[in-house]
Amino acid sequence: QVQLVESGGGLVQPGDSLILSCVASGGTFSSLAMGWFRQAPGKERQFVATISYSRSNTYYADWAKGRFTISRDNAKSTVYLRMNDQRPDDTASYSCAGGRTGPQVVETAAYGYWGQGTQVTVSS
């Protein structure tokens, strides 16, 4: 089984940058497409970004383009999400997910492995 553990969340001020990490264990990380999702209280889970396992191709939600960057380090079995110029509306629990799927997959059902999430709160 694959386990995913996120870290890096916390309280930040508007305009700050933050990098989230997700470490995988118990499986072959390099064979997994990885994605980031977020969920705010009272709202549905929202796709943020995904990165493929084959060529590290990336795909972003429209609202995330230009501010968020997803990357991976297969040697460390880790996927990252860099968030620049954070806004209060970015406040949410951010979860990483892994799946043996193709590129540019935004559906939650395509990801079989999920972390428990790390909370990001953006407030002045």
| Percent of residues, the chain, with pLDDT higher than 90 | 87
**Which residue, among 111, 86, 89, 108, has the nearest Cα to 99 in the 3D structure?**
111
Could you report the per-residue pLDDT of 54-96, keeping only the tens digit for each?
A: 778 999 999 999 999 999 999 999 999 999 999 999 999 999 9
Is the Cβ–Cβ distance between 46 and 39 less than 8 Å? yes
Interval 9-31 mean pLDDT: 94
For 39, phi then psi, to 5°, come to -145, 120
